Amino acid sequence: MTSRPPSAEDSVGIVEQHTVRLFEGDHPLVLASGAVLPEVDVAYETYGTLNASRDNAVFICHALTGDAHAAGRHRKDDHRPGWWDTMIGPGKPIDTDHYFVIADNLLGGCQGTTGPASTDPTTGRPYGLDFPLLQIADFVTVHRELLAHLGVDHLLSVVGGSMGGMQSLQWALSYPEQVGSAVIIAASSRLNAQNIAFSAVARESIMRDPGFAGGRYLEVGSSPDTGLSIARMMAHITYQSEAGMDQKFGRRYQFGEDARRGFGVDFAVESYLDHQGRVFLSRFDALSYLYLTRVMDYFDPFAEEDAAAALAAAGSPCLVLSFDTDWRFDTTHSRAIVRQLERQRVPVSFREIRSPWGHDSFLLTIDDYHRTVAAFLRRVAYERAAADRAAGKADR
Amino acid sequence: MTLRPDQTVVTRFVPDGSRVLDLGCGHGSLMRYLMDRRGCTGTGVEIAPDAALDTIAKGVPLIELDIDHQLDQFGDRSYDVVILSRVLQATYKPRDVLTQMARIGSRCIVSVPNFGYWRHRWVLLRGRMPMSKELPHAWYDTPNIHLSTLTDLEDLFDVVGLDVWERQLSTPDGRQRDYPARWANLMAANAIYVLTPRDSRPADPGTVR
């Protein structure tokens, strides 16, 4: 069980993004709330090869601001690979030599999939705040439709970190036979007051920006850039640990000892936050930020006592992971998920991984973390193959 | 898959198809064996990272937690059998651990080295801390911080409300021996106890084989 050092050969290489209209006409998307979206487009990418028995698929659910570009590069000279390139690729924990990997942009997003910034076909104008409120279950509905489109009935596993972990969990609870197994990383099944408070301030910062224009900024040609970048800057603080930030920036000055002091970017950490706030504007939409953070606030899949009954009956194993310095969703969140699953007799494994990098750890290469995900998936694949062989024998 | 001799004895007291919690499951071999050969389900608990990883790699549900502080994770009577195999002497608060086991399990199996074993007494008599196959560590770096004689341990079982339903004694290399009861605390190097919580004793705990 060795982990290979990262190199060019570990990449899935040049990848292509696709977009498909999954709901339209007499097949609209009916949300868990009962609201209806007449048209839904979904952006997705796939890596690796679907095997002949079509049972080696692993679905990737992204976090709040992720997208369908999870691994590889779109062009050779792309500055950065997909957001989870550390995890997905040949020889990596989600090994594209063995698994067929599917990643999409979730409903309500802004990177190829229909969201509140998309055009409402009934009015010809952007939805804005007329877009219906969403639930994690709605993301799962759309993921499942994408699977149907790809002709994949069953997954080997569904894997996600942070809000992606919430989707893994919801999917496993609702359709345990389909998912085979679930990996739930640095997630929560119930946000606490502090979590909601951070999201609330982020949303306020967007909505109070005059550029937000009551959600009609796309029509009036303004843009709540200040609000969105402040939301992003604040979120970035919650994604890192105190020690991690100290290690990365300390009290370093951005422009040296002798630079003039004022209220601009004096410290390195300020420069970092400023940069993160700025680059976010080019890739993310303020309305999506509102809608997607709100989805997390209301997520409470264990509100019903026997929420995991179907999952327990199916016996699909779950792996829950947390990071010891994560304070966005600290280990108590993961332990709460584990307690619920274990109590209801779901085969669940849990580890708290040591890492100095806080919530962001789930995106980074941490040996113990990667080895655990790799071992879990390998075992699931092994058991699936054994079950297939047994079923094959029974058929004969 | 080979089990340690004491683990083989433990399996005799785990009914087929039961739900098992293995506290300090190590690399998960016992749980894997019980799942494969005996149709059991359940959970392994371990805190050492490499052992936890190996257990997950074996397909055994593994919850990483600290037995001394975090057993409140598990519900009352949520397992048919709770196993504590050669772990009790390494816990900080053996009494709390046993109390939790009595709460969680309908049956508890506890496997321990016996500090009252005559060889240990002899070494102590000569003025040295005992070291042996069961207790291979020097006193200053041993994880075994709460060693007890069988007599002491049985007193504690009584205090926490665990009744001894069966006791299996063995030699240093794990071979079973039927020592007379009054000589057990002197002759046995190891013991395996099958215990039933006093408040929930089933009519007949029954055994396998």
Give pLDDT tens digits for A237-281. Answer: 999 999 999 999 999 999 988 888 999 999 999 999 999 999 999
Half-sphere exposure of A386 (CA within 13 A, CB side): 7
Q: Are residues A171 and A219 in the same domain?
A: no
Q: What's the mean pLDDT in B7-19?
A: 96
Q: Do residue A351 and residue B64 have CB atoms under 8 angstroms apart?
A: yes
Same domain, A364 and A222: no
CB contacts of A339 in chain B (<8 Å) are 73
A and B: number of Cβ contacts within 8 A: 55
Any A CB within 8 A of B78 CB: yes
A58, containing H or E segment: strand A57-61
Q: Which H, E and C letters describe chain B, residue by residue? A: CCCCHHHHHHHCCCCCCCEEEEECCCCCHHHHHHHHHHCCEEEEEECCHHHHHHHHHCCCCEEECCCCCCHHHCCCCCEEEEEEECCHHHCCCHHHHHHHHHHHEEEEEEEEECCCCHHHHHHHHCCCCCCCCCCCCCHHHCCCCCCCCHHHHHHHHHHHCEEEEEEEEECCCCCEECCCHHHHHHHCCEEEEEEEEHHHCCCCCCCCC
Residue A1: what pLDDT?
38
pLDDT on residue B203: 47
Cβ-Cβ contacts under 8 Å, B31 against chain A: none
Q: Is A201 in the same domain as A73?
A: no
The closest alpha carbon to B151, from B161, B133, B164, belongs to: B164
Selected residues 148-187 of chain B with any CB under 8 Å from a CB in chain A = none
Left (φ > 0), alpha (ψ -120 to 50) or beta: where does B82 sit?
beta
Nearest Cα to A102, choosing from A65, A54, A137? A54
Residue B138 CA: distances (Å) to CA of A272, B135, B144, B145: 52, 8, 10, 11
CB pair distance less than 8 Å for A350 and B63? yes
Say what the pLDDT of residue A392 is: 79
Q: What is the nearest CA distance from B133 to chain A, expressed in angstroms?
A: 31
Comparing alpha-carbon positions, the chain B residue that sits nearest to A382 is B59
* Residue A124 scores a pLDDT above 50: yes
Residue A3 in any domain: the answer is no
A7 is catalytic: no
Which of A298, A319, A336 is at the close of a domain?
A: A298
Residue A3 pLDDT greater than 50, yes or no: no
Quote the CA–CA distance of A330 and A192 in Å, as a whole number: 11
Is A314 strand, coil or helix? helix
Catalytic residue among A162, A181, A322, A334: A162
Using the beta-carbon criterion (under 8 Å), do B73 and A339 form an inter-chain contact?
yes
Q: Which residue of B has its CA nearest to A320?
A: B63
Count helices and strands in chain A by DSSP H and E runs: 12, 14
* Shortest alpha-carbon distance between residue A202 and chain B (Å): 34
Same domain, A141 and A290: no
User: Is A162 among the catalytic positions?
Assistant: yes
**Is residue B183 pLDDT above 70, yes or no?**
yes
- Judge whether A292 lies within some domain: yes
Q: Report the distance separating Cα A164 and Cα B150, nearest Å.
A: 51
In chain A, what residues touch B63 (CB-CB under 8 Å)? 338, 342, 348-350
In chain B, residues with a C-beta closer than 8 Å to the C-beta of A2 are none
Contacts of B58 in chain A (CB under 8 A): 379
Say if CB A298 and CB A332 are below 8 A apart: no
Chain A: residue whose CA lies nearest to B78: A343
Nearest to A349 among B41, B56, B75 (CB): B56
Question: What is the mean pLDDT of the segment spanning A223-238?
Answer: 97
Q: How many CB atoms lie within 10 A of CB A391?
A: 9
Name the active-site residue from A69, A98, A143, A359. Answer: A359
How many of the other CB atoms lie within 10 Å of CB of B101? 27
Is B41 in Cβ contact with A345 (below 8 Å)? yes
Report the CATH number at residue A138: 3.40.50.1820
Q: Which amino acid is at B6?
A: D
Answer whether A379 sits within 8 Å of B57, measured CB to CB.
yes
Name the residue of chain B whose CA is nearest to A343's CA. B75
A382/B59 Cβ within 8 A: yes
Domains of chain B: 5-198 (3.40.50.150)
* Residues above pLDDT 70, as percent of chain B: 95
Please give the single-letter amino acid code of residue A102: I
CATH number where A226 lies: 1.10.1740.110
Closest CA to A42 of A143, A113, A144: A113
**pLDDT, position A388:** 85
Task: Please determine, for residue A60, whether its predicted confidence score (pLDDT) is greater than 60.
Answer: yes
pTM of the model: 0.95
Do B102 and B94 touch, CB atoms closer than 8 A? no
Q: Name beta bridge partners: A352.
A: A322
> Between chains, do A319 and B56 touch, taking CB under 8 Å as contact?
yes
Q: Inter-chain contact B56–A351, Cβ cutoff 8 Å?
A: yes
The answer to whether the CB of B150 falls within 8 A of the CB of B89 is no
* Cβ–Cβ contact B62 with A under 8 A: yes
- Phi/psi zone of residue A214: left (φ > 0), alpha (ψ -120 to 50 degrees), beta? left
The SS3 of residue A319 is: strand
Q: Which pLDDT does position A323 carry in this prediction?
A: 98
| Domains of chain A: total | 2
The mean per-residue pLDDT over the stretch A203-230 comes to: 98
What is the rounded CA–CA span in Å between residue B13 and residue B30? 13
Q: Which of A342, A377, A383 to mutate to test the interface with B (most CBs of B within 10 A)?
A: A342
Residue B162 binned pLDDT confidence (cut-offs 50, 70, 90): very high
Q: In angstroms, rounded to a whole number, what is the distance separating the alpha carbons of residues A16 and A292?
A: 25
* Among A95, A104, A225, A326, the one annotated catalytic: A326
A370 in any annotated domain: yes
Q: Which residues pair with B163 in a beta bridge?
A: B196
At residue B200, the pLDDT reads 64
Indicate the residue type of A173: L
Residue A101 parent element (H or E): strand A100-104
Give the residue from A298, A317, A349 where a domain finishes.
A298
Q: Are residues A42 and A125 in the same domain?
A: yes
Length of chain B: 209
Residue B10: predicted pLDDT: 96
- A169: pLDDT confidence band, cut at 50, 70 and 90? very high
What six digits make up the tokens of A10?
Answer: 């570990």
Pairing of strands B41-46, B62-64: parallel
Residue-wise pLDDT for B94-147, tens only, equals 999 999 999 999 999 999 999 999 999 999 999 999 988 888 999 999 999 999
Q: Do A17 and A385 contact (CB within 8 A), yes or no?
A: no
pLDDT score at A249: 96
Q: Are residues A13 and A161 in the same domain?
A: yes
Q: Are the C-beta atoms of residues A307 and A338 closer than 8 Å to each other?
A: no
Question: Can you tell me which residue has the tokens 């997630």?
Answer: A187
- Do A302 and A168 meet the contact criterion of CB atoms below 8 Å apart? no
Question: Do B53 and A383 lie within an 8 Å CB cutoff?
Answer: no
Lowest mean pLDDT among A205-209, A254-258, A375-379, B72-76: A254-258
Give the pLDDT confidence score for residue A9 in this predicted structure. Answer: 64
Mean pLDDT lowest for which of A1-15, A86-100, A109-123, A267-281?
A1-15
- In B, which residues are within 8 Å of A378 by CB distance? 57
Statement to judge: residues A200 and A69 lie in one domain: no
Question: Taking CB atoms and an 8 Å cutoff, what residues of chain A touch B59?
Answer: 317, 379-380, 382-383
Q: Are residues A131 and A248 in the same domain?
A: no
Q: pLDDT exceeding 90 applies to what percent of chain A? A: 93
Between A286-298 and A136-150, two packed helices, what is the crossing angle to 10 degrees?
A: 110
Q: What is the pLDDT of residue B29?
A: 97
Domain membership flag for residue A2: no
CA distance A81 to chain B (A): 29
Domain end among A298, A316, A334: A298
**A319-371: pLDDT as tens digits:** 999 999 999 999 999 999 999 999 999 999 999 999 999 999 999 999 999 99
A197 belongs to a structural domain: yes
User: What sections of chain A are H helices per DSSP?
Assistant: 136-150, 163-174, 176-179, 193-207, 217-220, 225-238, 242-248, 268-281, 286-298, 309-314, 331-343, 367-395
- Interface with B, mutate which of A345, A349, A380 (most B CBs under 10 A): A349
Among all residues of chain A, which has the CA nearest to that of B70? A335
pLDDT for A307 equals: 97
pLDDT given at position A394? 65
Are A235 and A267 within one domain?
A: yes
- Calculate the alpha carbon distances from A379 to A167, B8, B28, B49, B117 in Å: 22, 25, 14, 18, 42
Task: Give the alpha-carbon dihedral of A111, A112, A113, A117, to 10 degrees.
Answer: 70
Q: Are residues A70 and A128 in the same domain?
A: yes
Best of B22, B54, B64 to substitute, by most chain A Cβ atoms within 10 angstroms, is B64
- A359 as an active site residue: the answer is yes
Same domain? A98 vs A154 = yes
Q: Select from A347, A368, A380 the Cβ nearest to the Cβ of B49.
A: A368
Question: A310: domain range?
Answer: 8-190+300-395
For the record, the structure tokens of A326 come out as 């994560």
List CB contacts (< 8 A) between B62 and chain A. Answer: 349-351
Let me know whether A219 and A315 are in one domain.
no
- Bridge-partner residues for B193, per DSSP? B110, B167
Handedness of CA A156, A291, A45, A92 (dihedral sign): negative
A360 occurs within a structural domain: yes
Please give, rounded to a whole number of angstroms, the shortest distance from the CA of B34 to a CA of chain A. 15
